[in-house]
Structure 1
Amino acid sequence: MKLERKHALVLIGIAVWNVVTYVTFIKNLAGTSGRPTGYYVAHTVLIVVNLFIAALLGNWGYRAFKASQREKIKA
């Protein structure tokens, strides 16, 4: 499958959005107290998984963007 530049930019945009929203979520989670341990464990797992997904999408988007630039130079 060949991704175009617009697809790469969408992937990068989603990755950036995930990072921004989950960094905000981390700040909000750090400001809470008095919750059960399970609350913090569950939300920490959500944060880690979503930041991993953001890194994966960002990597794919970056690689697709670079590939689209190489294709543009060849043409």
Structure 2
Amino acid sequence: MKLEKKHALVLIGIAGWNVVTYATFIKNLAGTEGRPRGYYIAHTVLIVVNLVIAAVLGKWGVHALKAARTAKD
């Protein structure tokens, strides 16, 4: 499969967007009170899973960017 620079940038962009949105979600979650314990557990799991997805997509994006640069040389 041929990876182009634009594909790499899309992956990196999505990863960055996930990090920004879930960082905001963490901030908002920390500011809530009076919710059941399960609410915090469920949302914490959601945050962790999405940050792991962001890390994987970011890693793929960096590798694809390197591969695209190498292919040009």
Question: Normalization by structure 2: what TM-score?
Answer: 0.98
Take 2:69 and 2:17, find their aligned partners in 1: how far apart are those partners? 23
Structure 1 residue 2, shift from structure 2 partner: 2.1
Q: Stretches of 4+ moved more than 6 A in 1?
A: none
- Unaligned runs of 5+ residues in structure 1 are none
Sequence identity (%): 77
Question: Normalization by structure 1: what TM-score?
Answer: 0.95
Take 1:23 and 1:15, find their aligned partners in 2: how far apart are those partners? 12
Structure 1 residue 6, shift from structure 2 partner: 0.3
Deviations 1:36-66 (A, max 9, x none): 0000000000000000000000000000000
2:19 — aligned with what? 19
Q: How many residues of Structure 1 are paired with residues of Structure 2 in the alignment?
A: 73
Take 1:7 and 1:20, find their aligned partners in 2: how far apart are those partners? 20
The 3-state SS of whatever aligns with 2:19 is helix
Take 1:27 and 1:8, find their aligned partners in 2: how far apart are those partners? 29
